Amino acid sequence: MARKEFTRASVMAALGAWIGFIVGPNAMIAATNSNFLNVLPQALHTSRTNISFVLALALWFNASLLPFAGRAMDRFGVRMVILPGALIFALAFALLSGMAHLWQFILLQALLTVGATMTSSVGYAKVISMWFDRNRGLVLGLCVALGAGASQTIMPKVSAWLITAHGWQGGYLGISLIILCFGFPLLWMLVRAPGKPLPQHVSEEGVPDGIPSPIDQIGVTRGQALRQPVFYLVFFAIMFGSMALLGTMQHAVPMLTERGLPLSTATTVMSFVFMGVVAGEFSAGFIVDRFNTPRVILPYFISAAIGVITVHTQNDLRLLLPGALLMGLGLGGEVGQNAYLVSRYFGLKAFGAIYGMTFAASAVGNGTGLILLGVIRDQTGSYAMGRYLAGGAICISVLCIASLKPFVYASRRGH
């Protein structure tokens, strides 16, 4: 007899994770940085290159911290990391509103990164994975799509309005208040781990049916995961995919306008990318639960490859807009399924530590793509050679996903 997964407690915990994705780093930092990048060089009397370099360093710093944050969640519990992290996250944004020099920006970005790491997707994905098994992909997809995806669509406009109405200082302070006054109270009330052991249903390579065990004790350790080839397939799939997709997204507007497209058209292309992200996050989660195999993720990565090459090469909107949609669809599938892949190949025993490393792969790829595409532009005078970097990286990602074997800790759907 299958355990009922959608209970009042599990739904409330999922709502807490949803709120966490809304006020998390993907929306509050990644979706607002471009607006601040327009005004900070003048405000801090420095160059755009310096600001961009600091932001890339913050991504790499984030990547180095994520495995430790994930391990702390495994050891001390998700709430003990997420709740202090949310306060640090809000405080860092508030302090950014009062800076006046580049060195202050560097130090506060480091503090912001600490808070962002502690309240990253790792914790919220772990909460969902502990409450849900048969519907894990669906709930993860819904929370990421309607949380981070929707918030990433809204926050560029919110931050732009705050900066226009109250200056860049008001922009940072407004984001701080959103996290502190809206996000933190709901996280404190809703984010909970299951309170008692839950029966597990895993493959023969895991623990047999009928043996009750706490859900977060099923799986392998971090060391055991690092000795398995599948870990590196997932790691490099995420790293190279993020290098191609997230790197391209951060350079998309200047890249498209330099090819002669109007600014309004370039921003429309980005809107199509975000629409694809939401569709990819939701649909991939729904489908993977039904088919219970990593093969269903492969079409999303192939879509990403087609999309990113199209965005790098086409000016015709009849091709460019569908390409942007495919690029976003693939990115949504990649981001949404990272946590799912970790839970199905390694279980939940060391989920935080292992997912922290694969999530760090995304930050490494993002920062590397950001820097390399910028170097290509500066050294060659255009983004034309960037298509080979992005195309090659996404093809490596596709090959890694195509090489994945069946899940070890596969869900057994009950009736």
In the Cβ-directed half-sphere of 9, how many Cα atoms lie within 13 Å?
A: 11
pLDDT at residue 210 tops 70: no
Residue 209: predicted pLDDT: 36
> Which domain-ending residue is among 170, 195, 220?
195
Across 138-165, average pLDDT: 84
pLDDT at residue 67 tops 90: no
DSSP 23: T
Residue 381: predicted pLDDT: 85
Residue 200: predicted pLDDT: 43
Domain of 292? 196-415
What are the two backbone dihedrals, phi and then psi, of residue 136, each rounded to the nearest 5 degrees?
A: -60, -50
Q: Are residues 72 and 134 both part of a single domain?
A: yes
282 token code pair:
């939701």
In the Cβ-directed half-sphere of 145, how many Cα atoms lie within 13 Å?
A: 24
DSSP 198: E
> Which domain-ending residue is among 174, 195, 216?
195
Residue 216: predicted pLDDT: 54
Measure the CA–CA gap between 179 and 124, rounded to whole angstroms. Answer: 15
pLDDT at residue 413 tops 60: no
Asked whether residue 140 is assigned to any structural domain, the reply reads: yes
Q: Mean pLDDT over all residues of the chain?
A: 86
pLDDT at residue 99 tops 90: yes
Per-residue confidence band for 402, with pLDDT thresholds at 50, 70 and 90:
very high
Q: Do 215 and 198 meet the contact criterion of CB atoms below 8 Å apart?
A: yes
Lowest average pLDDT, out of 201-215, 277-291, 311-325, 337-351, goes to 201-215
359-390 tens-digit pLDDT = 889 888 988 888 888 888 878 888 899 999 99
20-53 tens-digit pLDDT = 999 999 889 977 887 787 788 889 998 877 887 8
Measure the CA–CA gap between 351 and 72, rounded to whole angstroms. Answer: 11
Q: Are residues 139 and 254 both part of a single domain?
A: no
Q: Are strands 198-199 and 212-213 parallel, antiparallel or unpaired?
A: antiparallel
Asked whether residue 283 is assigned to any structural domain, the reply reads: yes
Q: Are residues 186 and 241 both part of a single domain?
A: no
Asked whether residue 97 is assigned to any structural domain, the reply reads: yes
pTM: predicted TM-score of the whole model, two decimal places: 0.77
Residue 207: predicted pLDDT: 38
192 exposure class (CB count in 10 Å sphere: 0-12, 13-18, 19+): middle
389 token code pair:
């970097």
pLDDT at residue 92 tops 60: yes
Q: Are residues 269 and 394 both part of a single domain?
A: yes
DSSP 213: E
Q: Are residues 174 and 247 both part of a single domain?
A: no
Across 58-63, average pLDDT: 88
CA angle, 62 as apex, 45 and 338 as ends, to 5°? 135
Residue 214: predicted pLDDT: 52
> Which domain-ending residue is among 180, 195, 210?
195
Across 137-156, average pLDDT: 83
Q: Residue 190 maps to which CATH number?
A: 1.20.1250.20
Residue 1: predicted pLDDT: 37
